[in-house]
């Protein structure tokens, strides 16, 4: 099945303005079957007391990129995903520049899905790596109220 570009465009606009991503100034950069990419331009609000990006920012990027990497595996548009677990390793600190999170679907099942994500700086230095198990659930929240074009183009 082929993703509908208009669906992606409208979905990205919703994701980028939803409360929590907007709070962190996180932007969806790419979404395709099996992969997703998000970024954050580091600001003062992302730093902990020692001047480094807070671990929660890395965790959010890992969680978000892993989630969206699985999105197109769910063909039923009345279904959504929620994180069951999140495991990550912090590999290097950051205090300026852009953080880029890239998610990759590993497995999509009927109930549970598994994905991984990395966070790198703009030069490609690996800063964090993580995995997430996600459960397929009914759509709720802003996504349930949104009216999008179909997720997939007709065959």
* 16-43 pLDDT per residue, tens: 888 898 899 999 999 999 999 999 999 9
Which residue, 100, 131, 128, is CA-closest to 115? 131
What is the structure's pLDDT at 152? Answer: 87
pLDDT of residue 115: 98
CATH number of 5-145: 3.10.129.10
Q: What is the pTM of this model?
A: 0.92
| Sign of the dihedral through C-alpha 124, 128, 134, 138 | negative
Residue 142 scores a pLDDT above 80: no
So where are the chain's domains?
5-145
Tokens for 81?
Answer: 């995903």
Residue 152 DSSP symbol: B
List C-alpha distances in Å: 150 to 12, 67, 69, 72, 124: 14, 19, 18, 12, 34
């Amino acid at each position: 099945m082929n993703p509908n570009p208009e669906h992606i465009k409208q979905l990205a606009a919703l994701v980028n303005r939803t409360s929590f991503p907007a709070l962190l100034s996180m932007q969806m950069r790419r979404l395709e079957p099996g992969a997703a990419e998000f970024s954050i331009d580091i600001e003062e609000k992302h730093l902990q007391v020692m001047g480094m990006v807070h671990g929660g920012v890395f965790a959010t990027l890992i969680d978000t990129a892993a989630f969206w990497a699985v999105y197109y595996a769910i063909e039923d548009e009345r279904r959504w995903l929620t994180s069951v677990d999140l495991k990550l390793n912090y590999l290097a600190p950051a205090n300026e520049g852009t953080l880029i999170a890239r998610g990759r679907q590993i497995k999509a099942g009927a109930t549970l899905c598994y994905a991984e994500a990395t966070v790198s700086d703009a030069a490609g230095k690996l800063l964090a790596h993580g995995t997430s198990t996600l459960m397929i659930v009914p759509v709720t929240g802003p996504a349930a109220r949104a009216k999008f074009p179909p997720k997939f183009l007709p065959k």
